[in-house]
Amino acid sequence: MVRAPFPIRAVQVDGGSEFMSDFEEVCERLGVKLFVLPLWGPYPK
């Protein structure tokens, strides 16, 4: 992750699997909460 001028406490992602396992590991190591959005949006079809 790139350094920011403020603490990053949480990240929201769309759930794409391209690099999720690596990203999840980094978030866990840094103590960053990871929120994954539902695949089909918030409204049922």
- Would the pLDDT of 34 be above 90? yes
The pTM assigned to this predicted structure is 0.65
Model pLDDT, residue 38: 77
Section 14-36 average pLDDT: 87
Domain boundaries, the chain: 9-40
Residue 36, SS3 per DSSP: strand
Quickly state the pLDDT bin for 43 (edges 50, 70, 90).
low
- Would the pLDDT of 44 be above 70? no
